[in-house]
Amino acid sequence: MFQLLVSVIAIALTSGLALASLHYGGSILSGATVKASVAALVNDGQQIGNAVVLAGLDDPFQPITIDRIPSIPIPPRVAAAGARWQLDPAGIAYIRLDPAASEKVCNEVQGQGGLDDSVSWADAPSAAAALKAAGTIFGCVGNGTDHYFAFRVG
């Protein structure tokens, strides 16, 4: 009878420990996912920036558009449905963020040293000027309804 009691207590403690680790570990995993998504956005921006440099060396007399880049990075999971990377002549690569994830992503962007989304997205030149003025190469910008991740490539 004593062994049965010890077994039941051991099972209950193990179950409680498993539930507690799922409960408290879930927020840690969620935070790591957002950090990884921001790292992917920055990496994609760097790849586009390097591709712009190479495209400019290949044919310096042609304007550089997103279509001249042979391999555009696949949008990460935090991008809005159907969104793809865009390149503005002002030297900004940008992508629209998923509205459900944009607040967490923009907070993490600011935490990693990027510009926060208090900057209004009127157009790409204003975003480029805001990034340059802040001394950073990436950040979140918004226009009231949508939020964009912007990366300065020029």
C-alpha dihedral (91, 84, 74, 80), degrees to nearest 10: 120
Specify the higher pLDDT residue, 86 or 120: 86
25 — pLDDT class (breaks 50, 70, 90): low
Number of domains composing the chain: 1
65-118: pLDDT as tens digits: 887 788 888 888 888 899 999 888 778 888 989 888 888 888 888 888 777 656
| pTM (2 d.p.) | 0.73
H helical segments located in 59-101: none
2-13: pLDDT as tens digits: 777 777 787 878
Q: Which domain holds residue 146?
A: 2-152
Contacts of 38 (CB under 8 A, 6+ apart): 105, 108, 109, 112, 114
